[in-house]
Structure formats: structure tokens, C-alpha cells
Structure 1
């Protein structure tokens, strides 16, 4: 694995921008979310662990959205699975995007899913979804996101 695969993905460094169009047609740019803590989640409709972690993320989002927490879920589904992905997303209040409509090249190749990246209010990467345990649960959100939400 060459170090260029992780180019720009250093914890404590500015997170690369992600921009494009959400499924609902709205434009999105990670750079414009400064002042919020953002969880970027790469997932797929056929991925069991992806679907398992979503209810915990949704519960945390509902509790903390007013405090400046946002979730961007980017599906890596093939076009043929898009309908299923949309069905799943109806249960959640995440910002939802198709990988083909988003530019996330600064993150390199997303080689595992789920992969979640957490970016703080200053746009600094606090969790790299390509290293460590990929699973996101209530405990992880409390440990990583809650202090970031409280930080000024």
C-alpha cells in the first residue's frame, strides 16, 4: 500500500473537500459545512454492517442536529441497486448522495464499507474511515462527536 493512497488523509489535518449533488438535487460542499461536525458515511444497500449501524447514527443525529451535527451518506451502489438504496434512505434524515454525483477524490479509493469519516467544526479530520475499526455505534459517536460538538 503506497502512502499516496492516503494522501491528504491525516488525522488533525484539514479534511479534503467533498462536493457534488445530493439525490434530492441540492448542491453539497463539505467546505461549506464549517461550524458543523459532519459524519461522512460510505455505504451500500447490500452491505449488512452498513445497514446495522444506521439506526444508531440516526438516533444520534436526531438528538444532536440542532447542536450542529450533520450526516452525509454516500452510497457506492451500482445504478441497478439505486432504488433499493433510496428505499433504505427513506427511514433516515441523512443528507444522501450517489457516489457518481460526488467528487471525493481527496479520500482516495474507498476500499471498504462501511467507511465513516468524522470532520470537526473547523473542517479537520477526526476519524479516518479507512483505518481502525470501521464500525460506528452510539459509543463511538459519544466518544468522538460529542466533545467536538461541545468545542467552540
Structure 2
């Protein structure tokens, strides 16, 4: 369990008083196309907006120290395993510092969906990262359908069924 100081520093970083997490540009709006982004996966691949067209994409921003983030990862796994054949892509983008890369890689080995490093990815159009977790859903046409910066920050299988499945069924 993290110390009080660790939790306090994490909280301050999320509200912008200390900022190890990168500040991002203005946030997206649901119903609008997402700006171009690139994710750098833990396997060393770069995945771009254009490459993901035609698939439903879930981008989950998380960190090793975030207990809520870690709690929702099994739900993302279960949902992904059930729906990957329908054109679902899930990316867990770690917002950790480089010193945590070993832990990030160890955690992500437990999951079938892709992991990526936030500091190596280009997500400027997703707005300021002010809390974790944050989960975004993008439909097959590249339109934002869930803005992770508003509403409930966490997802579970029920939320994923309600907020992702309709976009998997839409052609």
C-alpha cells in the first residue's frame, strides 16, 4: 500500500500542482472525430489513428500506483476476450514515470490487450490528464463515444457493455 506521501504526491500531480503527467491540449467532445494520435506499445510498435479505423477502440489511461486503475483491468480483460473478434481494440496506456517501466511491463503481461507508454505516445488531442483512470471509447469511424475526463472515472463490465457494445454492433 503506498505511503501517505506517495498518495498525496499522486493527488497533487493529478490536480496539476505537481505535474509528472503531461499536460495535454483542450479536451475532446463526444460525437466529434478524435484528432490523430499514435500509441507506442510495449512491444515497440506504433499504432496510429488511421490504422485503427474500422475498429472500436478503448483507450484506458492508468498508472501502477492507482488502485482504481488496477481494479478495472480484469474487467477490461474479460470484455476484450469476449469481443476482440468483433473488431475491438483495447489499449492500456501507462502514465507512469520511466522508473516504473519494469512494473508496467510485469502487470501488462497478465492481460491479452495491448499496453502502451503515455510518455512515448502522442495523445495531445485527448485533453489534460487530470485524473486516473480515464477511459475513452472511439467508434469504427473515429468518433469519440466516451470521454474519460467526464462522468464516472472507472469502468466495469456493465459499463463496457453499455458504452462499447452498441458501437461494436454498429457497422
- Structure-1-length-normalised TM-score: 0.92
Measured on the aligned residues, the alpha-carbon RMSD in Å equals 1.3
Measured after TM superposition, the shift of residue 86 of structure 1 is 0.8
Gaps of 5+ in 2: 1-23
Corresponding residue for residue 41 of structure 1: 60
Correspondence list, 1:26-37, <5 A = 26-37=45-56
CA distance in 1, matches of 2:51, 2:140: 11
Corresponding residue for residue 19 of structure 1: 38
Measured after TM superposition, the shift of residue 7 of structure 1 is 3.1
Q: How many equivalent residue pairs?
A: 148
SS in 1 for 2:164: helix
Measured after TM superposition, the shift of residue 72 of structure 1 is 1.0
Corresponding residue for residue 90 of structure 1: 109
Work out whether residues 8 and 15 of structure 1, in 8 Å CA contact, stay in contact via their aligned partners in 2: no
Once the two structures are superposed, residues 60-104 of structure 1 have per-residue CA deviations (whole angstroms, 9 ceiling, x without a partner) of: 000000001110111011111111111110011122111121010
Gaps of 5+ in 1: none
Q: Whose radius of gyration is greater, 1 or 2?
A: 2
Measured after TM superposition, the shift of residue 120 of structure 1 is 0.4
- Structure-2-length-normalised TM-score: 0.83
